[in-house]
Amino acid sequence: MATKKNRDINKDLLFPKARKRASQSSKKNLQSTKVLRTKTKDKSSSIQVNVLLISLVKAMTKVLESFKNLIFKFLQNIAKAPFLFINIFFSYIIEIFKKIISLVYTLLEKLFASVLRFREVLLGGFFGIISGAIGAVLAISYIELGSNNKENEVSDNFKQITEDIKSLDERLKNTELQNKKNDSLLANLKVIESEINKSENNFSKVENEMAIIGSELEKVKEKTANLGNNISVLKKDLRSNSRLILSSSKTELSNRLYLAQSLLDRLESGVPYSPQLEALGKEGLDPALLRYAAGGAPTLKDLEARLSARAGEQFDADRTKRDSTWRENLRKEISKYVKIKPTNINEIKGVTGALLRAESSISRGDLAKAIKEISSVPLEERGPLDAWLTEAKARQNADIAAKNLLARTTAALKQKN
């Protein structure tokens, strides 16, 4: 025995590959036996199923043959005795019911027998179906739970999203309203900015005008200072003249009164009066009288004619400023030939009313009223009337100076008497 074992050990030591091959072959044999067993089990189960099916088919064929024979007999009996059809029909119906009941009984008996034979297979399939159904139910319930949770999450997220969208819509509406308010504010700011720019421009213009007015005021101050000096000189001359007049004799005063009256008459008639001024001496040294001494002063008729001419120029200038239509042109052409004076000129306003009232006043010999009416016209609307106004004021000053000279002379003569 020891020698055999030693031989086997030596064989194993000498032939390790052969030993490995033997182990592999034994494993293969075991696997093949397992496969054969499973195949035999499958074959046995398939054979049993086939036997069950064959038995069921045989039973069905027997039932069909018996049913066929019954029908054949039934037809034969009807052919032989048709009057006995009812009795035979009911008897056959009873037999058919009996056959059907027996057939159902045999089928159920065989079915239960086959079930008892193949209870392992059926129970395995039944339990497999039940376990699969339970697993399916569990899987479906799990999926439904997950889907419900997901649906809840989705619904919650949807609600949150809708709330966020509503809040965003409200914010957008608020921002749109704010943008509209900002646009209106910007428009107002632009208007204010333009007004500020205009006011700045006007302020700069006003500053320039103020500077010009300041320079003119300085000039006026200088002129007023010069006029003050001239007035003081004239006062001294007047005092000396008054003293001379008072100290002179009655004959001299009467001569001076004649000269003063002659000077006033010549002034009103428009004749030169330089000899009278020379004869009066220092009393006649008045700038208002010296202006018209050589050429003569304009009479009231001359001033009236010049005023009407200046008024025509003013009307023409006023018409050129406006867009004259065919009616105004027609009125202009008619006014060249026909002059219509309104009945109540005091109610007429503007330059036209002032001109009409001035013409009416100067035609009545009221130069002061005519000067007042023309002076009431704004400076920017006078135009050519400004030259007439200076000339009329110069004539008025000359009249005042001549009348004052005449009044002083008559007063001195009265004191002598």
pLDDT of residue 77: 66
Q: Is 1 helix (H, G, I), strand (E, B) or coil?
A: coil
Q: What's the rounded mean pLDDT across residues 212-234? A: 75
Calculate the alpha carbon distances from 14 to 7, 18, 26, 108 in Å: 10, 9, 21, 70
For residue 346, pLDDT beyond 60:
yes
pLDDT in tens, 83-96: 566 676 677 778 88
Burial class (CB in 10 A: 0-12, 13-18, 19+), 241: buried
28 pLDDT higher than 70: no
pTM for this one?
Answer: 0.36
pLDDT at 389 over 80: yes
Q: pLDDT tens digits for 159-214?
A: 888 888 888 888 888 888 888 888 888 888 888 888 888 878 877 787 787 778 77
For the chain, the residue count is 417
Least confident of 34-48, 148-162, 208-222: 34-48
Phi, psi for 296 (deg, rounded to 5):
90, 145
Let me know: does 389 contact 375? Beta carbons within 8 Å: yes
| pLDDT score, position 98 | 83
pLDDT band at 270 (very low <50, low <70, confident <90, very high): confident
Q: Say if residue 58's pLDDT is above 60.
A: yes
Q: Is pLDDT larger for residue 167 or for residue 63?
A: 167
pLDDT, position 190:
84
Provide the pLDDT for residue 12: 46
Kindly tell me if the per-residue pLDDT of 247 is higher than 60.
Answer: no
Instruction: Evaluate whether 260 touches 405 at the Cβ level (below 8 Å).
Output: yes
pLDDT, mean of residues 387-403? 84
Distance between CA atoms of residues 406 and 143, nearest Å: 135
Residue 262 contacts residue 275 (beta carbons within 8 Å): no
CA 332/CA 28 separation, integer angstroms: 142
pLDDT bucket at 391, cuts 50 / 70 / 90: confident
For residue 97, is pLDDT > 80?
yes
Q: Which two tokens stand for residue 123?
A: 């129970």
What is the crossing angle of helices 300-321 and 350-363, to 10°? Answer: 170
Better-scored residue on pLDDT, 170 or 322: 170
Asked whether the predicted pLDDT for residue 234 surpasses 70, the reply is: no
- Average model confidence (pLDDT) across the chain: 72
Scanning 248-363, the segments in alpha helix (DSSP H) are 250-269, 274-280, 287-290, 300-321, 326-337, 350-363
Instruction: Enter the tokens of residue 377.
Output: 């016209």
